[in-house]
Chains A and B, each alone.
Chain A
Amino acid sequence: MQTATPAPRSRKPVYMVLGCTVFAAAAQIMMKYGATHVMPAVDFANPATFVPFLLALLTNYPLVLGYVLSAGNALLLILALRDGQLSTLYPIISLTFVWVNLLSIYLFGDHMNLWKAVGIVLVITGVAVLGKASETA
C-alpha cells in the first residue's frame, strides 16, 4: 500500500541494475563471438546428429560464457526487482548499449562519431532521470 508521503526509496536496486548492464554487455559481446562459430547440422528425425551438435554447443566457449554472464545478469536483476519498481529499473538496462558500443570500438574496430556520442549522452541522461524517479516513485 502506498502511504500519503512515501519515504525515499533506496538507490541500491538502481546500482544493482547498473551491475546487470555490465554483465549483459559482456554477455552480448560473447554471444556475438559465439554466433559466428560453425555448428554441425541437426536432423530432428535422426537423434544421432544431436550428439555432435550438443558437443559443439558445449565447446562453443564464447556462447557458454555468454549464457553464464546472462545468468549472473538475471540473478542480479531478480535481487534488484525485489525492492524496486519494474518500470523504473528495467529501462536502465539500456545502458548496456553504451557499454556494447564503447566495447565495439575497442574490440571490433568500430568508429566513434557524433550520432553515437549524442546517443550515448542521451541514454545516460535517460537512465539518470529514471534513477532520480526511482527515489520517489
Chain B
Amino acid sequence: MTVATPMSSVLLVITASVIGSFGAVYLKLGAAPRQKGLKYILNGRLLFGIALYIGSSIPFVMGVRHGELSVLYPMVSTGYVCTMLWSRIFFGEPITWPKLGALLIIVAGIVCINLGGR
C-alpha cells in the first residue's frame, strides 16, 4: 500500500486521543464510589466520561477514513502520556519509575509497530 496519510487524519486521531484521555479521567471520577446500586453507577461524572469516550470516536472514525491504520494508531499513544499526567494532577497518583519506564517501553513499541507498518 502506498496510500499517503493526510496530516488532517493525524490531527483528528490525536484530538480523539486527548478527548479520550479526559474521558478516562471522568470514568475514574465516576467509578470511584464502591457502593452497589444503579444510582451510584449512573452519575453525572460517569455519564460525562462516557460522553467524552463516545465523542472521541467521532474524530477517530473521521481520522481513520483516510490514511493507513498502521500510521494513525500510534498517534493514540498521545492519550496514554496525557492520562498519566492527568492521574498525577487529578488523583495524586505518583509517577513512579516503573510506570514511567513502562510507558516509555510501550510508546517505543507502538512507534516500532508504526515503522513496521510503513
- A positions within 8 Å CB-CB of B: 28, 31-32, 34-36, 63, 67, 70, 74, 77-79, 81-83, 85-88, 90-91, 93-94, 97, 100-101, 104, 110, 113-127, 129-130, 132-133, 137
| B57 & A67 in contact (Cβ 8 Å cutoff) | yes
**In the A-B complex, the 9 residue pairs with the closest CB atoms:** A122-B109, A115-B116, A119-B112, A116-B116, A119-B113, A126-B106, A87-B87, A126-B105, A123-B109
How far, in whole Å, are A64 and B116 apart by their CA atoms in the complex?
Answer: 30
Interface assignment of B54: CB less than 8 Å from any CB of chain A = yes
Tell whether A130 pairs with B87 under 8 Å between CB atoms, given A70-B53, A74-B50, A116-B113. no
Flag if A78 contacts B31 (CB, 8 Å): yes
Q: When the two chains form the complex, which single residue of B93, B105, B114, B116 contacts A137, counting CB atoms closer than 8 Å?
A: B93
Q: B106 and A122: CB pair below 8 A? A: yes
CA–CA, A86 to B86, complex, Å?
Answer: 9
Chain B residues with CB under 8 A of A130 = 98-99, 102-103, 106
**Are A78 and B113 neighbours in the complex by a CB distance under 8 Å?**
no
Given the complex, which residues of B lie within 8 Å of A34, measured CB to CB? 61
Name the residue on A nearest B46 (C-beta).
Answer: A78
Answer whether A122 and B80 are a contact pair too, CB < 8 Å, given A74-B50, A127-B102.
no
Q: Which of B28, B31, B61, B94 contacts A31 (CB 8 A)?
A: B61
Q: How far is the CB of A86 from the nearest CB of chain B, in Å?
A: 4
Chain B residues within 8 Å of A93, by CB: 80
B7 close to A (CB within 8 Å): no
CB of A87 within 8 A of CB of B77, answer: no
Given known pairs A116-B112, A116-B113, the reply for A129 and B98 (CB within 8 Å) is: yes
A-B contact pairs, 9 of them (CB 8 A): A35-B65, A70-B53, A70-B54, A78-B41, A91-B83, A94-B77, A110-B70, A119-B115, A126-B102
Any A CB within 8 A of the CB of B110: yes
Q: A114: which B residues are within 8 A, CB to CB?
A: 116
Asked if B25 is at the interface of the complex by the 8 Å CB criterion, the answer is yes
Q: Tell me whether A81 and B31 are in contact in the complex, defined as CB-CB below 8 angstroms, given that A122-B105, A127-B106 are known contacts.
A: yes
Interface pair A129/B102, CB less than 8 Å apart: yes
Q: Is B11 an interface residue (CB 8 A)?
A: no
Whether the Cβ atoms of B111 and A137 lie closer than 8 Å is no
